[in-house]
Structure 1
């Protein structure tokens, strides 16, 4: 009998397959995979050498007897399988967003606490190497007291990507669920985890998208954009989520006397002119990281009044999982921590359903768009 941690995967697309690879990297055993479409799940199981494949999640829990389940489906499909897994006594790894609403996310968090199972919430770009580097530099006092942070990104996504879960609030779509969760996690990991206040506004710049059959893997959806968008027989779906957002937040930092101000700016459909970036400003200097998710390189502005590129420390580089793709690398980092924790090994704190439920409640507040003051009469 194997003494490896047994994992059951929910979802057969990019996330489900990526989670399976990441758990194997951490030394776990993938005992089964569940998907909606029988032909697809059996093909994925065959391709990935997974012994069990099925379409009935509840039955798979009984048949596979997993220690951990990994949820790699869109956010709107998370609640039921996670509830069933927790009731079954399983630990849970879940991709972001935790659910489609703050209410259901809080329900899952409380259930996991009551059942005393471990959970991990994969807003996992906080494990980008240069984010870990920035965290160390702030802790060392390189920029003095953190004062404010700026996160700026423009994705220039194709407007005609086929209609799917990313266009629907009820399915866990929207840029807050799928971008803000990561950048908020990045900033809090560097500055401080305590979020004191938040406000924001959202905007749907898209409106509609073409309905196309056959899209299964999120990463290949661009391949299905119709060649003739003026075809009168083409059907269109209506978007009901944000494609741009502006958010202001205040964080409590153990390295600052006053709350740290944070500005998050994201345009999902808009082109960038200069580099996307995240900047941490302090009383003695600043840290600038290129890239919307802080891919690097990293620069420090210090006493010499110049920006200087600072190489990634060797120990941080050596601890980064060796795999292509930032998303895949960060899954492997977090899953490695979760597996160690389940085994009883000492690990650094990681994000759980506590943060997952908090983030979802924050997103609900931001989406209300009720922070405006009417000054038209002035």
Structure 2
């Protein structure tokens, strides 16, 4: 049953289909879908029962007259469709990264604020149940004043993954745009959004990737890795983005008298030895979250030792009934966004304010300029 909210989706892959399902679950009507390739968007829209399918975004805005647009394409393709949607008076749900640069992200934030439309920025792994549990524990003083955070992840991605948007800065690629955005959102959701200073180093340790036709769904790109990488007819694309990064940050927190020190360490192409993890340290204890986005077991150190804690019943009851952590987080965020649009009271969620700040911070990190005050950015 719809509630009057009409949603137009830009993107036909994993994210586009996931966004559409999340908005439907929140009671909205999916009135259209736009993609690059006619036969693909027609197939996906037909399978999902979406009435309008096309390749012209401006036309779809005019025909569908959406209340909300959901942008689920790579970050380098976000600026113009979002600008047009804002001009049409639509609220905007945008997947990360917000755009390919801090400058264009700040421009979209300005346009949205001037137009008075609501925005939502889907750096959404802050909504995993374990992160929500950590947020509650830290707020309740379980570790005293937060002092440090450590985020460690090693993905060991295949170097032969076909060349595409993830290899190109102009397309919104790079590990900062597609990993750091989530971990920064997780950390700030727990200790506070007051990112004060950053210092970073990045490295492109990939170099190149094979060019292969036919890759549509980002999640299935591994199945397109060429069997013969020595084939002389194989063409290669050059990467121009980071595949590993080390970032230090100082975050001002209402929960602590001193800025919280944060380490973000990610190796996209290197193997892990121990578990990926996120740890929040405090003056009286620590919280360990297993997994690169902290979505695994939560353990609390109270000064005497580590204890695995069960998920509180009320947090467990709020987990959307869908498969996949990514999908669950989209559903949770979309639920809050649509409730806010309807005028219901909701907890703060990431908007273009955070998206523009994160994009500006990424620009600073890529510049490797040493410790930089970022309080004025975004």
- Normalised TM-score (structure 1): 0.97
Return the alpha-carbon distance in structure 1 between the equivalents of residues 310 and 253 of structure 2: 25
Q: 2 CA distance for matches of 1:182 and 1:2?
A: 31
Partner of 2:163: 163
Secondary structure in 2 aligned to 1:86? helix
State the distance in 1 between where 2:155 and 2:233 align.
30
Cα–Cα, structure 1 residues 260 and 212, in superposed 2: closer, same or farther, change >3 Å? same
Secondary structure in 2 matching 1:16: helix
SS for the counterpart of 2:120 is strand
Deviation at residue 125 of structure 1 after TM alignment: 0.5
Matched, 1:339 2:376: no
Shift of 1:244: 0.2
Instruction: Give the Å deviation of 1:3.
Output: 4.0
Report how far residue 254 of structure 1 moved: 1.1
| Number of residue pairs the alignment of both structures matches | 371
Deviation at 1:320, TM superposition (A): 1.1
- Deviation above 2 Å: which 4+ runs of structure 1? 1-4
Tell me, in whole angstroms, the C-alpha distance in 1 between the residues paired with 2:206 and 2:368. 17
Say which SS state the counterpart of residue 23 (structure 2) adopts. Answer: helix
For the aligned residue pairs, the C-alpha RMSD in angstroms reads 1.0
Corresponding position of 2:154: 154
Q: Take 2:192 and 2:364, find their aligned partners in 1: how far apart are those partners?
A: 21
Does the 8 Å contact 2:3/2:27 carry over to 1? Answer: no
Q: Distance in 2 between matches of 1:369 and 1:138?
A: 32
Cα deviation 1:127-155 (Å, max 9, x = unaligned): 01000000000011010010100000000
1:324 aligns to what? Answer: 323
**Contact 2:2–2:27 (CA under 8 A) maintained in structure 1:** no
Structure 1 gap ranges (5+): 373-378
- Tell me by how many angstroms 1:323 deviates: 1.0
Deviations 1:237-257 (A, max 9, x none): 000000000000011111111
Q: Matched residues in 2 for 1:203 and 1:87: separation?
A: 38
Q: What is the TM-score of this pair, normalised by structure 2? A: 0.97
Q: Which runs of 5+ in 2 are unaligned?
A: 372-378
Task: Encode CA deviations 1:112-134: one digit per residue, 9 max, x unaligned.
Answer: 00000000000000001000000
Which residue in the other structure is 1:361 paired with? 360
CA drift at 1:371: 2.5
Q: State yes or no: 1:4 paired with 2:4.
A: yes
Q: Where in structure 2 are the equivalents of 1:115-264 lying within 5 Å?
A: 115-264=115-264
CA shift in 2, pair 1:334/1:2, >3 Å: closer
CA distance in 2, matches of 1:367, 1:144: 34
Displacement of 1:2 in angstroms is 5.8
Tell me the equivalent position of 2:375: none
Q: Which residue of 1 aligns with 2:31?
A: 31
By how many angstroms is 1:226 displaced?
A: 0.2
1:59 aligns with 2:63: no
